[in-house]
Amino acid sequence: MKPGISVALALGGALVAGCTQTLPPPQPSLAALEILRAGSLPRMHTGSFAPAPGLRPDVDQHVAIRSVVLNSPYDGSLSKYLGKAIDADLAAAGKLDPNSDLVISGLLTNSDESDGFSVGHAELSANITLTKAGRTVFQKDLAVEAHWDSNFVGAIAIPDAINNYTSLYDKLAIKLFEDKDFAAAANGTAAGP
């Protein structure tokens, strides 16, 4: 039995059989909250998050982890899930303001998971834009990845892969909040991209 089986059994969350699963809503993290507070960023909100031009539609629609297909609760779009992950952190830090003229938008450029008999790997990347009153003040490609010890046995490997893949959304949000160019653009102290 793998670690966490008590929780999995109690909550019906065993993730071993082939099926389609919808990601739960993204949750804010303490790491993001502390960065947002310390960085004295102004309030902002998210705008459009969509797949980048040329991206295969299925990359935005789902990610396959062995026999499990993961999809997004937001119109079946993983790019929109990224936007919601950023939203969740902004809201938790008190930095979300739907009326702000600072708007974060994004184009999903990659979402992938692969695991072999012993090593797992997942990556997520997006082109993020910040506009102020409609003018682009920041634009950058951001990418995050995860590596972990995988297992031949799906009962162990699948939950680990799902957790590592899902954690990338918060990692990408944190990478954005930590970006000095982003902070400078948001605070109006940068010339723009």
Partner 1 sequence: MSKIRIIAAPCARAIAVVFMLAMLPGCASFYVDDSLHDLTAAEKVSVANPRPVQLLFDFQTKGISNARATDQVRPYVVSAVQGSGLFTQVTSEPAPSGAVLNVVINNVPLTDDAFAKGFMTGFTLGLVGSNVGDGYICTIDYLPGGSGPKITKSMRDAIYTSLGATAGTPPHAQKVSSAEAAVQTMVRQVVSNTLNAVAQDKGFQQTVAAR
Q: Which residues bind partner 1 (CB under 8 A)?
A: 1-11, 13-18, 21, 23-30, 33-34, 37, 63-67, 91-94, 112-117, 148, 152-160, 162-164, 166-167, 170
C-alpha pair distances (Å), 151 with each of 68, 111, 117: 15, 21, 5
CB 181 within 8 A of CB 129: no
Residue 57, token pair as written in the block: 């539609």
> What gap in Å lies between CA 160 and CA 176, rounded to an integer?
25
> What gap in Å lies between CA 118 and CA 3, rounded to an integer?
17
| Rounded least distance, CB 105 to partner 1, Å | 24
Residue 125, token pair as written in the block: 């990347």
| Rounded least distance, CB 91 to partner 1, Å | 7
Measured from the CB atom, the residue of 37 and 193 that comes closer to partner 1 is 37
| Structure-token match 């969350």, residue found | 13
Measured from the CB atom, the residue of 11 and 191 that comes closer to partner 1 is 11
| Rounded least distance, CB 116 to partner 1, Å | 6
| Rounded least distance, CB 15 to partner 1, Å | 8
Measured from the CB atom, the residue of 120 and 185 that comes closer to partner 1 is 120
| Rounded least distance, CB 68 to partner 1, Å | 9
Per-residue burial over 61-78, b if 16 or more Cβ lie within 10 Å, else e, is bbbebbebbbbbebeebb
Measured from the CB atom, the residue of 29 and 129 that comes closer to partner 1 is 29
Measured from the CB atom, the residue of 127 and 167 that comes closer to partner 1 is 167
Nearest partner of 154 among 71, 70, 67, 69, judged by Cα: 67
